[in-house]
A and B are shown apart, each in its own frame.
Chain A
Amino acid sequence: MAERLNDEVWTAEELLERLERRDKFFVLDVRNRDEFGRFRIEGREPLPAVNVPYFEMLELGGKDEMVDSVVAYIEQHLANQLPHALPILSACAKGDTSEYVSQGLRRLGYASANLKGGMKAWGLHYATRAVVETPTLAVYQVSRPARGCLSYVVASVGKAVVIDPLRHLYPYLDLARSKGLTIERVIDTHGHADHISGGPALATQTGSSYHLHPYDAIHPIDVLPATLAYEPIRDGQIFSVGQHQLEALHIPGHTLGLVALRLDDRYLFTGDSIFVRSIARPDLGGKAETRAPLHGRSLRKLLELPGRMVVLPGHFSSLAEADDKGIFAASLDDLKQRNDGLLVLQRESEDGFVRYLCESLPRFIPEYVDIKRINAGLLAAGEDEASALELGKNVCALSQAYKDSSGETT
């Protein structure tokens, strides 16, 4: 058989491949409306989608069995909204109910696939891509595509530094094992608000050191010191990685302790400062007006670096920001020409830029306060609680980054 993918069940990995290839398909999401509102499948381009909670299909379809109800519901209420020309991906929370929905769709003659493991599996999916891979230098981008979170492994002659590891450790441990790398250090570019850092746990598990700027070891809203062990990063500090070096550049703004990491004149790990499409918001510590001028000055400092340096950011807001290989990266020179925030920065005075920042703040996400507490060791969370706090896409960039990324909905 030439067909590589199973047409009737898509894993999270296959979903990502199809999104990256810009395959055309339709999404029928049968979770509750509030869950759909918080977190949905998004592609490089808006995906056509419809949300009908499964219990509405069951009750309004009116049959005893789920598949029969799905068939009846679609015939009576949904047929005019579903395309026959596109595959319909059926998605629910964990992938069980959507299988019944998929069967119902197929019984009606639609081409339908079920998302295996549901939105839970999609939310937990990690992808690892090599940005560069030579014996003396390798950089891997480890992403969680559904959340728009990016992290990195920098390796040289068998030694590795992990930057901004995400909550699950297996992508880093698996990579280190398969490439024969010893993880020597774990660095968080800042105290994260949108996701739970895997940094302290990864450092403990690998016997390596955990590094954080001391300003981000204070919870910005509680104003309480972190209770976890860390080595304080200072501006200009050099971290060796095999034959290469990473230099920490303190660039306060998004947080007070944010650092970028510079790998020679080649790569710039920007954390939450410069992303590909947009720039980071300055208000997650609760003080947009006082942080915005700092943020502007830090960004101007980064723009003075060699323009050929490749920016490797901490987030993306849309898969459309990836290159052909699925990597989120671009040179500083390129971003000066097309990044929303950097275009304004280069055009505006300091005051004008501060005004732009303060007028571009997305909504504040209440969960972020607790996530920062967890990252400071001030609060503990089990797997279920952690998953609930991390549900959906990060909102760490300015509001412009989130326009027209979601699909049509009813």
Chain B
Amino acid sequence: MSQSFDKTLDARGLNCPMPLVNARKEIGKLEPGKVLKVMATDRGSVSDFQGWANIAKNVELVAQETESVDGATVYVHYVKRTT
């Protein structure tokens, strides 16, 4: 199962809050309907992206998954700009 996306943000190695801060900036640059794939190594990003998507009016958290890349756990968040 692979989720489609339009742009990738590599936030691997960044500590909280930078994955979310950077994702928010990138989402602002996308057209409504487009999906941003965010790759993060910060484990806390999983619940933080959920919490953020709940309160942000213009985003929807389409999917979250965990990947193993070069032996490191990567938390992947697919965020869609809705309006």
* Selected contact of B44 from candidates A58, A59, A93, CB within 8 Å: A93
Task: Decide if A32 is an interface residue (CB 8 Å cutoff).
Answer: yes
With A59-B24, A66-B21 given, is the CB distance from A94 to B52 under 8 Å?
A: no
Interface residues as binary, A91-107 with B (CB distance below 8 Å gives 1, 0 otherwise): 01110110010000000
In this complex, what residue of B is CB-closest to A57? B17
**B1-60 residues at the A interface, CB under 8 angstroms:** 15-17, 20-21, 24-25, 28, 43-44, 47-48, 51-52, 55-56
CA distance A260 to B47 in the complex (A): 42
Interface residues as binary, A38-61 with B (CB distance below 8 Å gives 1, 0 otherwise): 000000000000000111101110
**A32–B51 CB distance below 8 A:** yes
In this complex, what residue of A is CB-closest to B20? A55
**B47–A58 CB distance below 8 A:** no
| Residues of the A chain whose Cβ atoms lie less than 8 Å from the Cβ of B43 | 384
| Residues of the A chain whose Cβ atoms lie less than 8 Å from the Cβ of B16 | 54, 92-94, 96-97
CA distance A97 to B56 in the complex (A): 19
**A59–B15 CB distance below 8 A:** no
Task: Decide if A408 is an interface residue (CB 8 Å cutoff).
Answer: no
* Selected contact of A55 from candidates B15, B25, B51, CB within 8 Å: B51
CA distance A66 to B15 in the complex (A): 13
* Selected contact of B52 from candidates A58, A64, A66, A92, CB within 8 Å: A58
With A32-B48, A59-B24, A94-B44 given, is the CB distance from A54 to B17 under 8 Å?
A: yes
Interface residues as binary, A77-96 with B (CB distance below 8 Å gives 1, 0 otherwise): 00000000000000011101
In this complex, what residue of B is CB-closest to A120? B44
With A58-B24, A59-B52 given, is the CB distance from A100 to B17 under 8 Å?
A: yes
In this complex, what residue of B is CB-closest to A54? B17
**A84-139 residues at the B interface, CB under 8 angstroms:** 92-94, 96-97, 100
**A58–B15 CB distance below 8 A:** no
B interface secondary structure, majority = helix
Task: Decide if A65 is an interface residue (CB 8 Å cutoff).
Answer: yes
In this complex, what residue of A is CB-closest to B53? A55
A interface secondary structure, majority = helix
* Selected contact of B56 from candidates A32, A59, A94, CB within 8 Å: A59
**B55–A56 CB distance below 8 A:** yes
**B24–A94 CB distance below 8 A:** no
**B44–A64 CB distance below 8 A:** no
**B17–A97 CB distance below 8 A:** yes
**B44–A65 CB distance below 8 A:** no
The smallest beta-carbon distance between A313 and chain B, in angstroms, is: 34
The smallest beta-carbon distance between A26 and chain B, in angstroms, is: 21
The smallest beta-carbon distance between A71 and chain B, in angstroms, is: 14
CA distance A96 to B25 in the complex (A): 19
* Selected contact of A94 from candidates B15, B21, B55, CB within 8 Å: B15
CA distance A93 to B17 in the complex (A): 11
CA distance A148 to B60 in the complex (A): 40
With A93-B44, A94-B15, A96-B15 given, is the CB distance from A58 to B51 under 8 Å?
A: no
| Residues of the B chain whose Cβ atoms lie less than 8 Å from the Cβ of A55 | 17, 20, 48, 51-52, 55
CA distance A384 to B43 in the complex (A): 10
The smallest beta-carbon distance between B60 and chain A, in angstroms, is: 14
The smallest beta-carbon distance between B79 and chain A, in angstroms, is: 12
The smallest beta-carbon distance between A62 and chain B, in angstroms, is: 10
CA distance A32 to B44 in the complex (A): 10
* Selected contact of B47 from candidates A32, A56, A92, CB within 8 Å: A32
CA distance A60 to B55 in the complex (A): 8
CA distance A55 to B42 in the complex (A): 15
* Selected contact of B25 from candidates A54, A60, A64, CB within 8 Å: A64
The smallest beta-carbon distance between B5 and chain A, in angstroms, is: 21
With A32-B47, A32-B48, A32-B51 given, is the CB distance from A58 to B25 under 8 Å?
A: no
20 CB-based A-B contacts, threshold 8 Å: A32-B48, A32-B51, A53-B51, A55-B17, A55-B20, A55-B51, A55-B55, A56-B51, A58-B17, A58-B21, A58-B24, A58-B52, A59-B24, A64-B25, A66-B17, A93-B16, A94-B44, A96-B15, A97-B16, A100-B17
Given contacts A53-B51, A54-B16, A55-B48, 9 further A-B contacts (CB under 8 A): A32-B48, A54-B48, A58-B17, A58-B24, A59-B55, A66-B17, A94-B44, A97-B16, A100-B17
6 closest A-B pairs by CB: A55-B52, A96-B15, A97-B17, A59-B56, A97-B16, A55-B51
